[in-house]
């Protein structure tokens, strides 16, 4: 359930929404860091990334099975549960030579379920995974501390989501498609809620209206040069 912040309202002066922060919104961070090495669902003897060293129990076919530690031919390390030669279970730790680090669930050698991935640039993703990619609901914190929280589909932001700018706390709530925000959006800035349209770079007004959340009433005005110049 989306719950906007509610601040204190002190009168009309507080509603001269200097929309420089909105009309000239900082650029959305769009570059997601890739998830690193892809591990095949096949057994380790036919994987693209093979096991170089393993410590732990094995099954009757001499495959890693149970809790163990593995070092791969590319320098990656994994500690956690194995099944039929590949990591599979609810809690594993994968450290990659590239600087990626994942803690969470695996299935057939791939990230699947809930997990937290830390990327080389110190950005993080905490959420759902499917077959090795971000899929479902999750929170991505960019290296500049901007945050996207919402739905994902096959490694891209897709569906309803909220983007928060670390620079000023401004939030954009709307529908994302293939990683991009477009169409009707809701802007939350302190106790102000504003509805407009986002074309990918610029926010335009939809109906010249702003709703003050704290005082629960609607103000109407004319937007000129990034601010409300008059009230009706």
Domains and CATH numbers, the chain: 1-29+144-232 (no CATH), 36-141 (2.20.110)
3-state DSSP assignment of residue 13: helix
**pLDDT-based confidence at 93, cuts 50/70/90?**
very high
At 202 the pLDDT is 53
Average pLDDT over residues 29-51: 55
Please report, rounded to a whole number, the percentage of residues in the chain having pLDDT higher than 90. 37
Which residues, 6 or more positions from 60, have their beta carbon under 8 angstroms from its beta carbon?
A: none
Average pLDDT over residues 18-28: 46
SS (H, E, C) 140-171: EECCCCCEEEEEEECCEEEEEEEEECCCCCCE
Which residues, 6 or more positions from 75, have their beta carbon under 8 angstroms from its beta carbon?
A: 96, 97
Q: CA 207, CA 232: separation in Å to the nearest integer?
A: 13
Q: CA 26, CA 156: separation in Å to the nearest integer?
A: 21
Q: Is the pTM of this model over 0.85?
A: no
Residue 199 has pLDDT above 70, yes or no: no
Strand-pairing partners, residue 140, are 125, 148
For residues 103 and 93, the answer to whether their CB atoms sit within 8 Å is: yes
- Angle (CA) 6-9-11 rounded to 5° is 160
Q: CA 79, CA 53: separation in Å to the nearest integer?
A: 12
Find where tokens 């791969």 sit. 72
């Amino acid at each position: 359930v989306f719950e906007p912040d509610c601040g204190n309202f002190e009168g009309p002066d507080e509603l001269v929404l200097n929309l420089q922060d909105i009309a000239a919104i900082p650029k959305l961070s769009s570059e997601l860091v890739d998830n690193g090495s892809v591990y095949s669902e096949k057994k380790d003897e036919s994987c693209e990334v093979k096991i170089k060293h393993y410590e732990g129990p094995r099954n009757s076919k001499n495959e890693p099975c149970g809790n163990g530690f593995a070092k791969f031919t590319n320098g990656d390390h994994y500690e956690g549960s194995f099944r039929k030669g590949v990591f599979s279970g609810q809690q594993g730790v994968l450290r990659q030579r590239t600087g990626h680090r994942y803690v969470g669930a695996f299935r057939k050698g791939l990230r699947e379920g809930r997990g937290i991935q830390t990327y080389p640039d110190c950005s993080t993703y905490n959420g759902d995974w499917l077959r090795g990619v971000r899929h479902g609901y999750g929170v991505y914190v960019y290296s500049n501390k901007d945050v996207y929280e919402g739905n994902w589909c096959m490694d891209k932001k897709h569906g309803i989501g909220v983007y928060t700018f670390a620079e000023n706390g401004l939030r954009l709530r709307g529908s994302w498609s293939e990683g991009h925000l477009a169409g009707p959006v809701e802007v939350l800035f302190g106790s102000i809620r504003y509805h407009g349209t986002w074309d990918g770079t610029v926010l335009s007004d939809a109906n010249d209206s702003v709703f003050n959340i704290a005082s629960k009433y609607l103000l109407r005005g004319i937007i000129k040069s990034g601010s409300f110049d008059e009230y009706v």
